Structure 1
Amino acid sequence: MSEFTAACIQLCSSKDILANLEVSSALIRQAASQGAQFIQTPEMTNVLVRSRDELMERIRPEDQDPTLARFRSLAMELDVWIHAGSLAIPRGDGKVANRAFLIAPDGRIAARYDKIHMFDVDLPNGESWRESATYQPGETSTVFDLPWIRMGMAVCYDVRFPAIFRTQARQGAGLLTMPAAFTRQTGEAHWHVLQRARAIENGAYVVSAAQGGKHEDGRETYGHSLIVDPWGTVIAEQQEAVPGFVTAKINPEQVLKARQRIPAIANERDFDISLAQDTAGAEAQA
């Protein structure tokens, strides 16, 4: 198993799909010029619009989406794998898919994944999000064999649900992907620890391209695109919440070594759970 170079593209996507596309395309070209063979963009690469009505007016079906079309052309031109972290794609039923795409160097769409967990939360600073009002959650986890390693696909809020990644690791995934648009508040609190935890507990690389900065629709995202190795060490990080990219070498042998040192997956056992009863207390009351 040979090593390869992965890149995380960090964006600050606006409401303007074509403007976002120009920024992301330029960064993909730069990353490829520096040797990246697997290039990931963040969640909502094509557009960030909080208004549901405005989002529906702007986005297009898969076969008409300009970002997907450009990325397929770029993959062929640059001879790279492009992981579009996610695009907003209308489903045709009034809902939107938060859909990740893996594009092969021949331009074909090799894999898709629809974000499973919806970010429906009320944060302490007054932010309130109801993704389920606009987006239809996916129901299937996705793994795919890259030329170097098996990868698992997830998106943003999925990172808080470890079962997805454990299931992917059990299926042999040594590269876990979590492109995101974390809010600044939740990112400051949990971003690094969640990424490192998923890497450590599964003995896998984690690649997480992120949105970062103040967006046109009013939200603020945390940035800090990360690549984490199977021992939980951050090996690449975009420090500033601005567009850019980072790269790191991915060595599949390190996955094997981490899983040999701490064989958590091999040692895992199924178990039942019971509600313990305080029988002594019950007898005393009687």
Structure 2
Amino acid sequence: MTQTLRLSIAQMTSTNRHEGNIAWMEEAAAQAAEDGAQMLALPEASGLVNKDRDDALRLVVDHDADPFIAACREAAAKHGLWVQTGSTPVKGPDGVDGPRFLNHGDMIDPDGRIVAGYDKIHLFDIHLDGKPPTGESRRYGPGRRAVLADTPWGPAGLAICYDLRFPQLFRDYGQRGATLLFVPSAFTVPTGRAHWEVLLRARAIENGAFVIAAAQVGKHDDGRVTYGHSMVVNPWGEVLVDMGSDGPGLRTVDLNLDEVAAARRQIPSLQNGRDYSFDD
């Protein structure tokens, strides 16, 4: 396993059209390569942010035809980068109310090949006090499979945004040897302010792994506002990168994978778990 990963993490304000997001991603990939990065990590919905269902239905296509994914593959091959695409909506199976999407992310190698793909499992159906309900399941179908991507830096566990609140997914990744945990996100401002950092740090500490969480930020074309604060957290729970909420950008950081083994040796909670039962 390669012991050092130079990572560029992105923070975006994605638009409601693929073209602008592709152009931004291409510039970010070029900058990452200039910085000597080996991998570029993008946020959730990096390819398209569009809550207008009718408009989105005209734009969202099958995975194999998606222009943002194709552009990420081309950028990876052009610059010799690994690219974790964050996610973008692609066509999914129809639901009871008609067509639905999948919130899909890929891991792409430096030859432009997709080595792993993940569909967001846990959908953001919540009821914040004083705000209208958010029902992601009306537009999206759930993924069914947890996915570990093979990389030179060890197995990488793939997740997306609301998955962050389900610690067993990350524990399963950790117990299967994941050294990197990706959580590309588009957190709301209220939930981000209250929970974002503490949940990211908890997932890193619990599993002795690096957490890489590229995020959307600011006001988008469709009116939504996202929290920002793209973060990288090390296996001891220390925040190595916090990009704040001022706007889009790119940050490059070196990750020492020896820290994974050190954290797991000092606090071997992945091995110390015990079976238990409830008294009825």
TM interval, short-chain normalised: over 0.9
Which of 171, 180, 185 is the matching residue for 2:176?
A: 171
**2:93–2:141 CA contact under 8 A, matched in 1:** no
Q: What runs of 5+ residues in structure 1 fail to find an aligned partner?
A: 276-286
Q: Which whole-Å CA distance do the structure 2 matches of 1:175 and 1:63 have between them?
A: 26
Greater mean deviation of Cα atoms: 21-30 or 167-176: 21-30
What is the CA-CA distance between 1:7 and the residue it aligns to? 1.7
- Determine if the alignment matches structure 1 residue 270 to structure 2 residue 275: yes
**1:75–1:104 CA contact under 8 A, matched in 2:** yes
- Determine if the alignment matches structure 1 residue 161 to structure 2 residue 166: yes
Greater mean deviation of Cα atoms: 33-42 or 23-32: 23-32
Q: Secondary structure at the match of 2:87?
A: strand
The alignment's TM-score, normalised by the length of structure 2, stands at 0.95
Which of 238, 262, 270 is the matching residue for 1:257?
A: 262
Task: Tell me which stretches of 4 or more aligned residues in structure 1 moved more than 4 Å.
Answer: none
Greater mean deviation of Cα atoms: 127-136 or 224-233: 127-136
What is the CA-CA distance between 1:127 and the residue it aligns to? 4.1
How many residue pairs align between the two structures?
275
Q: What runs of 5+ residues in structure 2 fail to find an aligned partner?
A: none
What is the CA-CA distance between 1:63 and the residue it aligns to? 2.0
- CA 1:22/1:149 → structure 2, altered by over 3 Å: closer, same or farther? same
Q: Secondary structure at the match of 1:20?
A: helix
Q: Secondary structure at the match of 1:182?
A: coil
Q: Which whole-Å CA distance do the structure 2 matches of 1:51 and 1:238 have between them?
A: 29
For the pair shown, the structure with the greater C-alpha radius of gyration is 1
- Determine if the alignment matches structure 1 residue 114 to structure 2 residue 115: no
The alignment's TM-score, normalised by the length of structure 1, stands at 0.93
Q: Secondary structure at the match of 1:180?
A: coil
Which of 115, 118, 133 is the matching residue for 1:128?
A: 133
Tell me what 1:233 maps to: 238
Q: Which whole-Å CA distance do the structure 1 matches of 2:154 and 2:241 have between them?
A: 19
**1:222–1:241 CA contact under 8 A, matched in 2:** no
Q: Which whole-Å CA distance do the structure 2 matches of 1:20 and 1:124 have between them?
A: 33
What is the CA-CA distance between 1:192 and the residue it aligns to? 0.4
Residue by residue over 1:187-233, the C-alpha shift from the partner in whole angstroms, topping out at 9 and shown as x without a partner, is 00000000000000111100000000011111110000000000000
- CA 1:211/1:184 → structure 2, altered by over 3 Å: closer, same or farther? same
What is the CA-CA distance between 1:68 and the residue it aligns to? 0.9
Give the root-mean-square deviation of aligned CA atoms. 1.1
